[in-house]
Structure 1
Amino acid sequence: MTGSAISYTLLSTSDVQKIAPVSNVTLWRWVRNGKFPAPIRVAKNNFWRSDEVGAWMDDMSLRRAAPDHKALSQARK
């Protein structure tokens, strides 16, 4: 096998829920709706790539920091 070294780890469901403390139902709803990265299935178990979860966290931080455009447009009226 050629290529670069793996730069991520695999996170279990419980690991993910420590990062995003939501119920299993909410986690799977997010996955189904494309709001959270899909897991990788390994031997009947689901794992998430740490780099993808990290990118999701970064995206959530950017959304939180961005001004609320809807509130701004209503304030201007």
Structure 2
Amino acid sequence: MKKNVGGIDRTGRIVLGVLGLTAGAAIVGDVLEVGLAVGGVAVLFGLIMLFTGTTQKCPINEAAGVDTTEN
């Protein structure tokens, strides 16, 4: 799979990934009392965003034909 995530999209994904992981860890660690399922979803979301931002590859972008890299 070729790179299809770049620029502001990449930066946004990395920032959202870190925020999702932080929020999820706070929820799972009982710092925030929202629910374990919400914490799990936040951690999963954070991991996906961080992974797609750092590898610059997103299967959903590829399926939709979206490419945010600069040419």
Larger of the two Rg values belongs to structure: 1
Give the TM-score normalised by structure 2: 0.31
Query: 1 or 2, which has the higher strand percentage?
Result: 1
The answer to which structure has the higher helix fraction is: 2
Q: TM-score, structure 1 length as denominator?
A: 0.29
